[in-house]
Amino acid sequence: MLPDQAVKVDLQERYARLLTAIFRVVASFFSKPDRQDKLIKDQLDAWNKYSLQLDDTPVQFACDVQEEMKMLAEQSNWDNSATRIRVLQAAAKKMNQSVPSTNQEGVAQLKVLLAIDEARNLVEQTDDEEVSYFRLFRRVLAELPISGGFFSVFTDTTSRLANFSPALDDDPSARPDGHGAELFEPIYQIPSLDLFVPALPKTWRELLSPGRLLTYGGPFYGLYYEHATKKGGANQLENTLCIAGLKLLCRSKFPTSKMLTQSQIFALLGSVIHTRLYNNSSIHTDLVSSHAAHCMFIDPTREFIISDYPSQFPYASAASAFLARSHCNWDRCINVLALAVQNGLLANGDAGEMATRLILIYAMQQTIILDSGNEFTIKQGHSVRLRDFLNTLTGKNPKEIRLGTKSPEGRKRLLDEGRIFFNHFTRIGYTPSAKELMEFLHEGLAVQCKPGQHGLDDLFTIYLARNLIQITS
């Protein structure tokens, strides 16, 4: 995608050759007779092994594309622009015909998606005429036929890429024939959270099942854990949470407390206690680009964005696990948070409210874990007895603590049967119903009420269960 700048090349020719080579290699792969007779699942599994690069070792797909590009460059008529376009379109058509169909009529419902990540590198590089590589690549894509079974998407970690579509009369890539004029609007938010959450749990064991809990939030972690569990092997749960933690911190290995950046700290705190930064903070961009935050708002002038961390159990568990590794991690995060409060970097809530949530999370981490009955237990996403939690939180005998009920029987039941389960907070601006309180319990969630008002600041569900066998709402 980024040729050697020391070598002068025709980028439109190069990109046309790249796409043609990709299309031909895909068509060749799926056109083999022995492969066409197999089930679609088996064909796609073979494709993943053929094309998916897991380390620094080039896969056969990349090698085959390079060989095809060399062969195209050696063709005598390839230098002709019109010929290139015809060859490109023919390759795209053949690829579409070769892709496996999901029905008996032969309609190729499966599509080929070309995803270009880190696309800002195409924006930052320009040719001799000061036209970005990004626009040159778009010109080639515009030559592909509509409804041809091919789709290309550009993704990046910077909002600059979203600002690529000026008025047509100012667009240096515009052409009289109008190709490429219609573009999708930049995608800021995709409603994909909690897509695969199963039916409500009926037992405490189901409630605390890692496979169920990891479905809350983005779909990747639940699906990854499910697939890893089916394949067998050790450390499936640890590996899943490790991926979530490294994604949250944007690192290939976990940093020490001294190495933690301000953005990493707010990624951890945002996932656990739902801190929210001041709207004009420059950290928002970094959190969205590199630390798994969601973009909630983009200024019409595209000068700033607002990020947020919606409730996602995998990230909350990974963040809590990282904090629990060492007191130094806690100390570092608390110190940075305190400095941010002093400098007015936080959007709402006072220091006392945030300190309360940190204390509650820390107390949950230090309380004795209840056996969930599952083969694996998420260490930082576990259930505890209310009386054990109160003892950890206050250092007092729970029987000596005022619980807000004057009924001796009610007090005894709270201490004997009360169970709590949460590992992160989210903000709400309403009074939750009993049904919603149960939903918080299902998600391992406590809630922060609207800050700065009279009443309760934080809520978490206390479940009363005599035997923990069955859950009723």
232 and 374 inside one domain: yes
The first and second tokens of residue 127, run together, are 């040719």
Residue span of the structural domain in which 371 resides: 204-383+421-464
User: pTM of the prediction?
Assistant: 0.71
Q: In terms of domains, do 452 and 328 share one?
A: yes
Say how many domains are in the chain: 2
Q: Are 15 and 72 in contact, with CB atoms under 8 Å apart?
A: no
Q: What is the pLDDT of residue 177?
A: 46
> How confident is residue 408, by pLDDT bands cut at 50, 70 and 90?
confident
The answer to whether residues 425 and 294 belong to one domain is: yes
- 116 and 241 within one domain: no
Examine the domain organization and report whether 218 and 358 are in the same domain: yes
**Residue 448 within any structural domain of the chain:** yes
Q: Are strands 418-420 and 384-385 parallel, antiparallel or unpaired?
A: antiparallel
Alpha carbon of residue 289 to chain centroid: 11
Q: Is residue 79 part of a domain?
A: yes
| Residues 97 and 216 placed together within one structural domain of the fold | no
Verify that 371 and 425 share a domain, yes or no.
yes
Split at pLDDT 50, 70, 90, the class of 473 is: very low
- What is the C-alpha end-to-end distance of the chain, expressed in Å? 55
Clarify whether residues 309 and 369 are in a common domain.
Answer: yes
Work out the average pLDDT over 242-246: 95
162-190: pLDDT as tens digits? 544 444 444 444 444 444 445 455 554 45
Question: In angstroms, what is the C-alpha Rg of the chain?
Answer: 27
Residues 209, 134 share a domain: no
Q: Provide the residue type at 374 as one letter.
A: N
In this structure, is residue 410 part of a structural domain?
no
Check whether residue 270 and residue 342 sit in a common domain: yes
Q: Pick the last residue of a domain from 170, 195, 214.
A: 170
Which of 119, 154, 170 terminates a domain? The answer is 170
**Block residue for tokens 């009920």:** 405
Pairwise pLDDT comparison (389 vs 432), residue with the higher score: 389
Say which residue, 417 or 453, is predicted with more confidence.
417
Element holding 58 (H helix, E strand):
none
Tokens of 385: 């007895």
Across the strands, what pairs with 150? 112
Average pLDDT, integer, range 211-216: 95
Amino acid at 111: K
Question: According to the model, what pLDDT value does residue 269 have?
Answer: 96
409 domain residue, yes or no: no
- Tell me, yes or no, whether 412 lies in a domain: no
Q: Is position 439 within any domain? A: yes
Query: Is residue 290 a part of any domain in this protein?
Result: yes
- My answer on whether 24 and 117 are in the same domain is yes
pLDDT score of 88 more than 70: yes
- The mean pLDDT value for 355-376 works out to 86
Task: Answer whether residue 450 is part of any domain.
Answer: yes
Q: How much of the chain is helix, strand and coil, in % rounded to 5?
A: 45, 10, 45
Q: Which of 170, 189, 223 is the last residue of a domain?
A: 170
Question: How many Å separate Cα 412 from the centre of its chain?
Answer: 43
Please indicate, yes or no, whether residues 242 and 328 belong to a single structural domain of this protein: yes
Averaged pLDDT of the chain: 83
User: Residue 37 — very low, low, confident or very high, per pLDDT cuts 50/70/90?
Assistant: confident
Residue 432 backbone class (left: φ over 0; alpha: ψ -120 to 50; beta: rest): beta
